[in-house]
Amino acid sequence: MASNIPSCVHNATSKHTASVIFLHGLGDTGHGWLQAFKLIAQPHIKYICPTAHSIPVTLNCGMSMPSWFDIKSLSADAAEDEAGINSAADLVQSHIAAEEALGIPRSRIIIGGFSQGGAVALYSAFARAQQNLGGVLALSTWLPMHRSFPAVLKANQSVPILQCHGTDDTLIPFVMGKMTSEIVKQFDGNVQFKMYNGLGHSSCDEEMKDVKLFISEHLPPI
């Protein structure tokens, strides 16, 4: 079921032949990321940045904030909100289906996200998708419920992935991003891992240039 919260959208300015769906991190909204994508926008691509519902988050002392699922702890062995992760992953699939209804094939759709949003995108691509996508952007993130892989794999075992992580990230440590890359490579060898020296839990111009290049390579004009 699609969210009833309107997505931030930057429509294609020429013939719409591809789409990017990108999810924000914990406590954020889609607005800021849409502004970032506008700076690297290509005319044939539609950019969609949904905003999560506000829900109580255990990590935030139970206070409500925009979140794709509950986070109990950031430790690698923490209990996970499996129902919430699956629900968020299915929401991504509903956004993909909406683009398909407009005539955009899944091979011309890239999904992605930052931090918690990237976790949803990775899980959705591998465990909930029924067909292959054009690519996945995974920024400063991790693969949730990683112990369930490869048993839960459904699609995208060769989907191109750009995974980016700052070396000075203290929220989602760089080592967690690197570990995620190694886990994903066990069932999808088409992963490009890029590190950014001195970058914390944030983005930077260099990273967005790499994001633009990845999108250009996998969603060229047709």
Q: How many of the other CB atoms lie within 10 Å of CB of 38?
A: 11
Q: Is 95 a catalytic residue?
A: no
In 3D, which of 36, 60, 62 has the Cα closest to residue 49?
36
Catalytic entry in 3, 53, 201, 202: 201
Q: How far apart are CA 141 and CA 53, in angstroms?
A: 20
Is residue 7 a contact partner of residue 24, using CB atoms and an 8 Å limit?
no
Q: Is 169 a catalytic residue?
A: yes
Catalytic entry in 28, 70, 81, 169: 169
Q: How far apart are CA 25 and CA 139, in angstroms?
A: 10
Helix (H) or strand (E) holding 136: strand 135-139
- The structure tokens listed for 148 are 């369930």
Is residue 114 a contact partner of residue 141, using CB atoms and an 8 Å limit?
yes
Buried b (16+ CB within 10 A) or exposed e, 71-90: beeeeeeeebbeebbbebbe
Q: Is 75 a catalytic residue?
A: no
Catalytic entry in 19, 67, 115, 181: 115
Q: Where in the sequence numbering do the catalytic residues fall?
A: 115, 169, 201
